[in-house]
Amino acid sequence: MSNYHIKQFEEYFQVYKKSINQPEQFWEEIAEEHFYWRKKWDKVLSWDFRKPEVKWFEGAQLNITENCLDRHLRTRGEKTAILFEPNNPEEKAEHISYKQLHERVCKFANVLKEKGINKGDRVCIYLPMIPELAVSVLACARIGAIHSVVFAGFSSTALSTRINDCDAKMVITSDGSYRGAKTLDLKGIVDEALENCDGVASVLVAKRINSEVFMKAGRDYWLQPLLDEAYQDCNAEIMNAEDPLFILYTSGSTGMPKGMMHTTAGYMVYTAYTFKNVFDYREDDVYWCTADIGWITGHSYIVYGPLANGATTVMFEGVPSYPDFGRFWEIVEKHKITQFYTAPTAIRALAKQGTEFVDTYDLSSLKVLGTVGEPINEEAWHWYNDNVGKKKSPIVDTWWQTETGGIMITPIPFSTPTKPTYATLPFIGIQPALMDDDGQEIKGNQVDGRLCIKFPWPSIARTIWGNHQRYKDTYFSAFDNMYFTGDGALRDEVGYYRITGRVDDVIIVSGHNLGTAPIEDAINEHQAVAESAIVGFPHDVKGNAMYGYITLKDAGETRDHDNVRKEINQLITDRIGPIAKLDKIQFTDGLPKTRSGKIMRRILRKIACNETDQLGDTSTLLNPEVVQSIIDHKL
C-alpha cells in the first residue's frame, strides 16, 4: 500500500475518499504498516461525540518511544535525530544521533524511576529549548509517566496553576535560559511557583547558564550527576493504546487554562502520518520547526511526528532577532534546511526588516515552507513566498489546534495548488462542516460558517484533565454530534477553506458578521502598516463599531497623520465594503501578544470598551508594557 506518502493531487482525492468511506480500514492499514506494536488492536475505532468518548486502536499495546527511537537504531543509528542550534551563534551546534538520543532517553528514564516516578504519574517540564527538553519528554513516555510541558516563558503563577491542576509529582527545569541577549532565571521562577504546590516531591535541574541557584535539600537535584550514575538500558513500559501520553494546557476564552489530554496510539499514528505528507518529508531532509516544544506544534512536529519518521529535527534555542534579524536565514543556510515551519507573526516581524537579511543567505536548500497558529495575511504570505521560497517552495498554511493534536486543514505540497490565506483542503480522514447559527450544516461552496468536525480522527484530545464536563461543554455542546473548533471559516468556489479567525472575534456591525482577519488583511496592505488588530466596541446605531489598533513601520514620522487613517479606510472599503470601515484608528507602539505570538484581542476589546478595570492578568504577555501605553493614548 502506498497511501503513506501522497505525491499527486489526484492521489489526494482518492486517498481522501477512502479515508472517509472506510475510515477504520484506512487507519488500520496505516497503523499496521508503519509502526511497531507490542500487540495489535481488537477494535480500530469506537466513538460517541455526545458523551463524548473516542477510542482508537483499543486493545493495542505499544510504547511510542520504541517507534521514535528503538526501531530506527538498526537502520539510522548514526543519523542525526536532533540537531540542536544554540542561542549563541558562536556556540557549536550539537548533532545527536538516534543512538545517542536513545541512550540519553533511557538514562533519563532511569533517573525518573529512581526518583519515584511511576507509570501514570504527572511530570511537569519547565525547560528552555535545549536537548534535555526533548529527552525528558521522551523519558516520561518511555516509562509511561504523563508529561505536562509548560512553556518556559510563563510566570510562576501560571506555572503553579498548571502544576496543581494536574497534580504533578516532579518538576524538571534548568538553572536558567538564554533568550537573545538576555537570560531568564527559571529555577527562581520554579521556586516561587512551588511555594504554592505541595504535591511536588522532587525537582531535577539541568545546568544551562551556570548561574548560582538555590537548591532545596531533599527536593532539588542537579540532573547531570544523576544521569552519570544511571544505567543506559531501560525497557520501554508497555502502554495501552488509550493510555494518556501527555497533558498540555491551552487557554480558553474564559476561566482556567484547559489541560488537554492526549493518548498514545492515535496521536502517534496521526502526527507521524501528517508529518510525512504535509512536509513531503524524505529521508535526507533536515526539517526545522521554529516553535517551542512548550506548545502543541513542538510536541507534534518537533518531537513525535519527525522522530516517528526517523527524521532529523532541528531544535533552536534562540530568537529570530538575535544577534540580528538574519538569524533564521543564517541557520537555514548553515544546516541546509529543507522544510521550514513557522508562525505568521514571525514572518511579519521579519518582513518588517525588508529583504536585506533574507537576501544575504543561500536559502536554496528549502523545499517546503509552512505556517501555523493564526490566519496568515496576504501581504505576509507573498513576502514569505517571494523572498524565502523564491516562488518555488509551496507554502503549507496548516490549520489545527492544541485540541486536535495534529494538522487538520492544509495543502499537501506539490499536490494541492496553494492560494494565499487559504488553508485549502481537509487532510486525509478529516471531515469538516460549516454550521449556521441555527445548528444546521451549510452545504455547497461559497459559504461561511462555524467550523466543526463531523467524525473523529486519531489524535483528537480525549478530555480536559480532571474536567470531562468542561470538555463536553466547550467542544461538543454548541452543535449536536460535532466537534466545534471555535473558529469561523469560509469555503470558496472550489471547496477551499479559509479560516477567518476565532468566532469570539467576530464583530457584528449593523447586523453584518465581519471576521477580523479579512479586515486586518486589508489594513496590512497599506505600505505604512506593520501590524493591526481590530475589535468591536458598542455603538448607538450600529450595535457594534470597529476599533483598529495599528502599528506603523515607521512610528515617529506618520503617527498622527489623518491621511493614513483615510487611506486605511479606503483600502477596507475597496477590499470588503464601507460597512467594515473603522470608526476609530489608534496608532500604537506594539500590540499585546501571548508568548506564542498571538495578538490578545480580548485585552484590546476591553480597552476599546472602556473596561480597563477588567483586563485580568496581563503579566503572562510577551510585552505587558504596551498595555498601559495603549490605554494612555486611547481615542
344: helix, coil or strand? helix
Nearest to 552 by CA among 529, 568, 585, 524: 529
Residues 6+ apart with CB under 8 A from 290: 316, 320, 328, 340, 341, 342, 343, 346
Nearer to ligand WT7, 97 or 398 (CB): 398
Our CB check for ligand WT7 shows the closer of 206 and 278 to be 278
Q: How many CA atoms lie within 13 A of 482 on its CB side?
A: 21
Q: From the CB of 260, what's the least distance to ligand WT7, in Å?
A: 8
* Closest distance of CB 297 from ligand WT7, Å: 4
264 secondary structure, DSSP code = S
Per DSSP (E only), the strands in 348-431 are 368-372, 395-398
Give the three-class secondary structure for 96.
strand
Q: How far is the CB of 440 from ligand WT7 (least distance, A)?
A: 22
Strands 80-85 and 94-97: antiparallel
**CB-nearer residue toward ligand WT7: 202 or 620:** 620
Q: Residue 352 corresponds to which cell in the numbers above?
A: 518588517
Q: Is the Cβ of residue 310 or residue 518 nearer to ligand WT7 in the bound state?
A: 518
Cβ atoms of 507 and 580 within 8 Å: the answer is: no
Shortest separation between residue 295's beta carbon and ligand WT7, angstroms: 6
DSSP β-bridge partners for residue 498: 490
Q: How far is the CB of 499 from ligand WT7 (least distance, A)?
A: 4
Nearer to ligand WT7, 85 or 505 (CB): 505
Amino acid at the residue 418: T
In the chain, DSSP finds a helix count (H) and a strand count (E) of 22, 30
List residues binding ligand WT7 (CB under 6 A).
Answer: 250, 295-297, 372-375, 397-402, 423, 485-487, 499, 502
CB of 498 to ligand WT7, least distance (A): 8
Whether cis (ω within 30° of 0) applies to the bond prior to 456 is no
Q: Where are the alpha helices (DSSP H) in 4-86?
A: 9-21, 23-34, 64-68, 73-76
Question: 158 or 372: whose CB is closer to ligand WT7?
Answer: 372
Shorter beta-carbon distance to ligand WT7: residue 236 or 395: 395
Q: Are 118 and 171 in contact (CB under 8 A)?
A: no
Least Cβ distance, residue 341 to ligand WT7 (angstroms): 10
State which residue has the least CB distance to ligand WT7.
Answer: 402
Nearer to ligand WT7, 160 or 402 (CB): 402
Selection from 551, 534, 445, 524 nearest residue 491 by Cα: 445
- Distance, CA of 49 to CA of 174 (rounded, Å): 41
Taking each helix axis from N to C end, the angle separating 131-143 and 98-114, rounded to the nearest 10 degrees, works out to 60
By beta-carbon proximity to ligand WT7, the closer residue of 215 and 319 is 319
Rounded CA gap, 434 and 447, in Å?
Answer: 8
Minimum gap (Å) between residue 603 Cβ and ligand WT7: 17
Count of C-beta atoms within a 10 Å radius of residue 286: 18
In 3-state terms, the chain is what percent helix, strand and coil (to 5)?
35, 25, 40
Residues 388 and 369: beta-carbon distance below 8 Å: yes
Query: What nine digits make up the cell of 188?
Result: 527562581
Task: Give the span between the Cα atoms of 187 and 215, in whole angstroms.
Answer: 9
E strands in 226-360: 239-240, 244-250, 258-263, 286-289, 312-316, 339-342
Least distance in Å: CB of 333 to ligand WT7? 26
Least distance (Å) between residue 465 CB and ligand WT7: 15
What is the closest distance, in whole angstroms, from the C-beta atom of residue 60 to ligand WT7 in the complex? 26
Q: Considering the complex, what minimum distance in angstroms separates the CB of residue 361 from ligand WT7?
A: 26
Residue number with CB closer to ligand WT7 (60 or 388): 388
Closest distance to ligand WT7 from the beta carbon of 294 (Å)? 11
CB of 326 closer than 8 Å to CB of 89 = no
Beta carbon nearer to ligand WT7, 316 or 399: 399
Nearer to ligand WT7, 59 or 420 (CB): 420
Nearer to ligand WT7, 77 or 417 (CB): 417
Instruction: Give residue 329's Cα distance to chain centre.
Output: 21
